[in-house]
Structure 1
């Protein structure tokens, strides 16, 4: 028999005499505050209505059995339902910790929970073994109630786990103060119901997953894509040794994909949409949707397992490049538009370009894209078709003109990227930000920080000075409000002459600073602000203000704004 009859179980029955593990080729823990809040609210509603509540379907692959002392445990790989189970086990650990300091009944419950969560005296075996837990964040919490410091959290999944620990403890504490901890234990263990599918044949796993998750449930498109691809291997291959060798290779690739996206938040639907759009040989006017991408990938692979391996490797390459884009905060103001990211991806994934050639194309891509979507303020509806078609042409090394494929030389690519911005003449659009409230009315904050970052880079190059990257990172990790400085303050002290309000948020009155200098300068007089600016002797834009201006009034705001606009014309022209 390939799978057991589905069972309806309470959480207590589900967890008893079973050990769970999440394979590396599955997604890391990705639930956020919203999903956990929904879970907590479900539990509160159960108390109010005093009814059982169906939580989820859990699909598991049977691995083996394990003897621990006098008990025998089924070892199961979780294929679907891992986010909810992980969150509930964290909640049980938080509850266990709180119960330990309670009355005798509560301490007895805590002892039972300890034995459930950690299976051996030497604490080597735990109820759930998560994946990609290289820092042992989850296991240390389960064993020792040990929580990591913020500085120790290196990847997105670890930050999600840390947040789950804190939020669960807050929820348990609040519940205990209102209704008592024993009642929470009873509700979680007895009232939460699950349907458990245990499958012995891995090939059936992906069919079950696809059926269960074709009903409008909130499942990441990348997970659906993985299930589709791995399912194809089982559908079209009869030789068991071929299946095994192919699956070993695919498990390694998908482990790397999930490890990659676990380093930062990358949306699975974007990975498959971009991957499919670039592979597609039709001239598209927009990126494929997630569903269109799945349909394309299914057709593209057909009945060939090697194509499944190729597409999986391709998705890994796309994931890695999107991670690089996501991890570069300096480009936030440029890469917030989807089709702008797609074009950069196409450039980076051209394997026949040298690094110098890519560098030149990156510069053109950045200048044109910031001119259109930053300075000119166009939104995501602008230039979609042009960006998508160009991305496809760059990737496949050919243009499709009048239904004929024509070679696309590198010099033509440079011209094509430049032509994207041909209707946005810099000397005209830059005047649109003159005399304007950029900070509040136009919400140009990301763009402002990027504008001054590029200005600072220009000043550094002019002086032959290398600005410490650690300071830039500190600026970018801080909030926008802490790093954009109003030279004439937003709330001026009595030392300042009053200016018309529309001058406070204009370009000439703004600059970039570290949060410490922003806090120190605050609403002080201009003389005292310059004292604070001198302390940040690494920011040359501040030094220019200190050296060139004896007072700060309308005349000098306009003078500085004109200087910045003239520089911007040269920079993005």
Structure 2
């Protein structure tokens, strides 16, 4: 395959370059959060394409930044589109386990989208989730019915539901229909695949994401802005802090089930009042005020932003303990 251009419509098989492009979800990204309604929409798209297989159906945008190569393999970090991409990979893994799929196609799915070299003890992962969820995801590729009863966060549950819902859908299909679905997923779903030229351009994408009408919590917008700040002002330590501490923020909020936009916003407002020593009314516009206090230039107080990231991680841990204790008292 020729080198991928900066921006073009590609199938998922092209995006993975037939198994020579490897994708990782950075730790600062939100864990898998798609629910049943989003997966139903994806299934509906595929069903529609099944009726008219003579065109490429535009399915969404994937933004990824190039990382270091490993021999013939190109590494990418997914900047945007990770929820849809994760769902597609889960669907492909579910197709691989379906009895209607031939041995040759099972091997193709594994070697193109999941992993290579496992039989020799030199496994090369082609799609890696972030944080502790990846270990669970990797196990479910072999044991799709496995369900964790310990440390099960909302992301774990979303992952379980995705495997289950896709299996139920496929099990209701004939062998011919299952193979037609595989063909659609591989070669009839089109994605705008965009590779930013520089880290600054990648950082700018986070501000674009924040302001394009996509439903995000204030907490998610704050995270995106911090990444944007780090790239634009060239503050490597801020980027490192977000990558190191943001997974802890999300883990503890997931653990105490404070994961809706409203719940995340409440957490952000409460912590902003304490951290910034501000009044309650200002706490309703944390994203806006953070941008005003700390513009994305090197002379801004980026050290204070690193303190803020660490403060959020500690506050989320305290949140988790408080909500867990309340839940125990109510039982």
Superposition deviation, residue 46 in structure 1: 2.2
Q: Are 1:56 and 2:60 matched, yes or no?
A: yes
In structure 2, the residue corresponding to 1:61 is in which secondary structure?
strand
- Superposed, which structure 2 residues align to 1:461-540 within 5 Å? 472=331
Q: Are 1:36 and 2:33 matched, yes or no?
A: no
Name structure 1 gaps, 5 residues minimum.
238-242, 332-449, 454-471, 473-573
Higher mean displacement: 52-61 or 218-227: 218-227
Q: Are 1:258 and 2:250 matched, yes or no?
A: yes
Distance 1:233 1:126 in 2: 28
CA 1:42–1:262 in structure 2 vs 1: closer, same or farther (change >3 Å)? same
Distance 1:141 1:36 in 2: 18
CA 1:325–1:191 in structure 2 vs 1: closer, same or farther (change >3 Å)? farther
Superposition deviation, residue 164 in structure 1: 1.4
- Superposed, which structure 2 residues align to 1:178-189 within 5 Å? 180-189=177-186
Q: 1:269 aligns with which of 255, 265, 269?
A: 265
- Deviations along 1:503-550, one digit per CA (max 9) or x if unpaired, are xxxxxxxxxxxxxxxxxxxxxxxxxxxxxxxxxxxxxxxxxxxxxxxx
- Deviations along 1:210-266, one digit per CA (max 9) or x if unpaired, are 2144221233432321121122233334xxxxx333432332122322333343432
Superposition deviation, residue 155 in structure 1: 2.5
What's the counterpart of residue 294 of structure 1? 287
What's the counterpart of residue 428 of structure 1? none
Q: Is the 8 A contact 2:31 2:133 kept in 1?
A: no
Distance 1:110 1:130 in 2: 21
- Superposed, which structure 2 residues align to 1:59-458 within 5 Å? 59-67=63-71, 72-98=72-98, 101-102=99-100, 106-116=102-112, 117-120=114-117, 121=119, 122=121, 124-133=123-132, 136-142=135-141, 144-152=142-150, 154-176=152-174, 180-199=177-196, 201-237=198-234, 243-267=235-259, 268-279=264-275, 283-284=279-280, 288=284, 292-302=285-295, 303-328=300-325, 330=327
TM-score (norm 1): 0.50
TM-score (norm 2): 0.84
In structure 2, the residue corresponding to 1:24 is in which secondary structure?
coil
What's the counterpart of residue 6 of structure 2? 5
Superposition deviation, residue 279 in structure 1: 4.7
In structure 1, the residue corresponding to 2:78 is in which secondary structure?
strand
What's the counterpart of residue 511 of structure 1? none
Distance 1:74 1:231 in 2: 24
What's the counterpart of residue 548 of structure 1? none
Q: Is the 8 A contact 1:25 1:256 kept in 2?
A: no
- Deviations along 1:186-225, one digit per CA (max 9) or x if unpaired, are 1111221111222353332221122144221233432321
Q: Is the 8 A contact 1:130 1:138 kept in 2?
A: yes
Name structure 2 gaps, 5 residues minimum.
none
Superposition RMSD in Å: 2.7
Distance 2:324 2:40 in 1: 28
How many pairs are equivalent? 314
Select the structure with the greater relative contact order (CA < 8 A; seq sep ≥ 6). Answer: 2
Superposition deviation, residue 328 in structure 1: 4.0
Distance 2:254 2:169 in 1: 26
In structure 1, the residue corresponding to 2:216 is in which secondary structure?
coil
Q: 1:19 aligns with which of 18, 22, 29?
A: 22
Distance 2:37 2:7 in 1: 29
Distance 2:66 2:267 in 1: 30
In structure 2, the residue corresponding to 1:254 is in which secondary structure?
helix
Distance 1:180 1:94 in 2: 14
Bigger-Rg structure (1/2): 1
CA 1:234–1:152 in structure 2 vs 1: closer, same or farther (change >3 Å)? closer
Superposition deviation, residue 274 in structure 1: 2.8
- Deviations along 1:347-380, one digit per CA (max 9) or x if unpaired, are xxxxxxxxxxxxxxxxxxxxxxxxxxxxxxxxxx
CA 1:102–1:41 in structure 2 vs 1: closer, same or farther (change >3 Å)? closer
Q: Is the 8 A contact 1:233 1:308 kept in 2?
A: no
Q: Is the 8 A contact 1:257 1:315 kept in 2?
A: yes
Superposition deviation, residue 135 in structure 1: 7.5
Q: Is the 8 A contact 2:203 2:231 kept in 1?
A: no
